[in-house]
Structure 1
Amino acid sequence: MSDNADTPTNISLSASVSESLEYKTVSVFLVLLVCGVGIVGNVMVVMVVFTTRHMRTPTNCYLVSLAIADLTVLVAAGLPNVADSLTGTWVFGHAGCLGITYLQYLGINVSSCSITAFTVERYIAICHPIKAQTVCTVSRAKRIIAGVWIFTCIYCMLWFFLVDIQVGQDGHVQCGYRVKRDLYLPIYLIDFAIFYVIPLLLAIVLYGLIARILYLSSLPNQSETSATTLRRSCREGPESSGGKGSRPIRSGHSSRKQSHITALDPCLIYL
């Protein structure tokens, strides 16, 4: 009975090991694929804006900030996950635990702030185009981006004191929380409010105003367009038909019938 009882256990263990290997292989491949495509794409965005002079616009400045923030997240979050999947333990030490956690939250928060600044810039450019000529400048965009990065760098320093290396009873090393997770709830709520709720509400309001302006901006009516076209064709008609420098010659017979022709030909109204 003991042999029969042990056999299914061994089969289940071997099956779980094979599933774990397959899971690690697929997860590592997907993480490397996403990180590779994301890193190449964001690096190309930064290089194009930096090397092309006419691409240095306020909008592209915010896109460069967003691209750098995404690169930070891809490197700080993707590559450690690959190492953890391959080795099964944390291999970057105490300094790596602090630095990688800091960079992860830094990239996420800067991305949110960059998108918010980009949204405000688009709102001013579309809804207030005259004011945008003096407000939406490259120098001002650079100052806003610098302020965003400085504020977020200082704010995220809190995570230097919230994470640490933890060693389990089996010798497994991981980068985790220094205190109980219940104590992190206020921090997560503040992050959620500052970097998600407020930017989301602001984006909804501003894009709603942008959509309203674009929807209410009246295009020329069909009647006005046809009248303008008729007026233009009537003005250009005599010159094109008579050639350059030619003048229409009116006989006495045509002069006597001018009033009748005017009633029949609408072009004469604009002559």
Structure 2
Amino acid sequence: MTVQFCFPDSNSSCVKEVRTGTGNIFLFILLSCISVCTVFLNLLVIISISHFKKLHTPTNLLILSLAVADLLVGLILMPVNIMGLIDNCWYLGKMVCAVVLVINCFSLAASLCSMMLIAIDRYIAVNDPLSYSVKITVCKTSGFIIFGWSFCLLYVFIFLYFNDHLIASPIMIRCHGECVMYVKYPWMTVDLIVTFVIPCSIILILYSFIFHVARYQSKAVRSVLKTSNQQGPNISNSSETKAARTLGIVVCVYLLCWIPYYISSLSGESISSLSLVWTVFGWLAYMNSSMNPIIYAIFYPWFRASAKYILTCRTLQSSSARINLFQDHF
């Protein structure tokens, strides 16, 4: 069997491992379809919220932030990982490798930051609905998103720098044609706590308060209606409760997708291994970016309505931005 190299003209080239066969071809096609669907669905979310004026609310702005982070996964990280599965060589150079590694860390941090801001937004909306519109505005939310994304980017550079990985030492360490991220175990533990345990704990605590308050309000309204023998609509701000429940599902799906990855990350120092376990857990984590738009499509009528307008090209009309997507559903 002839040994192939990523760069035959280089003495330090990595050995090429080409994966062929019917099973591998089917896997590549499947993962490519997932990548395309992730980009397509998140673009629908981004275009919907950006285009239609009625969707310019603080909560939807946070959903937009989450969709942008998910778009980075489908547009950049998924195709790069598919290339790595086809053959283990990295042909794009050290600079692109560094950028991809930064995007990989940043997209995760930005997603979790957006979810934490969503949890805070829903907590205020359910716990103090009367003053919500005063406390939470589109301008304030935009400022929080910019601050959150800036903090995430700063953290990623600090993490990679002090891990002695991106800036202080070369990325392709063992051979030419490799893009590997090595994380020292102490920093892996720190990253797990800072970017997963603490934010997720805050999110889960806030959502426990949200559902407790929502249940209390629902019982109080039913008690009043029963006492007065009145029949009427539930005035306990059901739309806010529904939004909290939907976004709570988003958080639960996120945890189910990422917990296996983080648990397995504590078992070794390299987070770029091409083993079967790493491949499965890595793609399970990436597929979280595909699940969020599907959840919106199932639970949000405005997303289904906006998608119809976009796919039928009715958004090209000059007055389409002012269409009320809620009028047929609420």
Above 0.5 in TM-score? Answer: yes
What residue is the counterpart of 1:29 in the other structure? Answer: 29
1:79-137 CA distances to partner (integer Å, 9 max, x unpaired)?
11222233431111101110000001100110000000000000001111123121111
What residue is the counterpart of 2:180 in the other structure? Answer: 176
Structure 1 residues 19, 142: closer, same or farther in 2, change over 3 A?
Answer: closer
Deviation at 1:167, TM superposition (A): 4.8
Mapping for residues 1-271 of structure 1, pairs under 5 Å: 20-158=20-158, 159=160, 162-163=165-166, 164-168=171-175, 173-177=177-181, 181=183, 184-217=184-217, 218=220, 219=222, 220-225=224-229
- Letter in structure 2 aligned against 1:27: L
Unaligned stretches of 5+ residues in structure 2: 1-16, 233-330
**Structure 1 SS opposite 2:179:** strand
**Structure 1 SS opposite 2:156:** helix
Distance in 2, matches of 1:86 and 1:195, equals 30
Deviation at 1:223, TM superposition (A): 4.3
Contact (CA 8 Å) 2:59, 2:118: kept in 1 or not?
Answer: yes
Structure 1 residues 74, 216: closer, same or farther in 2, change over 3 A?
Answer: same
Structure with the larger helix share: 1
Unaligned stretches of 5+ residues in structure 1: 1-16, 229-271
- Letter in structure 1 aligned against 2:67: A
Contact (CA 8 Å) 1:73, 1:107: kept in 2 or not?
Answer: yes
Contact (CA 8 Å) 1:127, 1:213: kept in 2 or not?
Answer: yes
Distance in 1, matches of 2:137 and 2:53, equals 15
Distance in 2, matches of 1:110 and 1:134, equals 26
- Letter in structure 1 aligned against 2:191: D
How many pairs were matched up? 205
Query: Taking CA–CA contacts closer than 8 Å with sequence separation of 6 or more, which of the two structures ends up with the larger relative contact order?
Result: 2
**Structure 2 SS opposite 1:175:** coil
- Letter in structure 1 aligned against 2:179: C
- Letter in structure 2 aligned against 1:205: I
Contact (CA 8 Å) 1:93, 1:165: kept in 2 or not?
Answer: no
Distance in 2, matches of 1:226 and 1:122, equals 29
RMSD in angstroms over aligned alpha carbons? 2.4
| TM-score, scaled to structure 2 | 0.57
Find the structure with the greater CA-based Rg: 1
Deviation at 1:54, TM superposition (A): 0.9
Structure 1 residues 226, 43: closer, same or farther in 2, change over 3 A?
Answer: closer
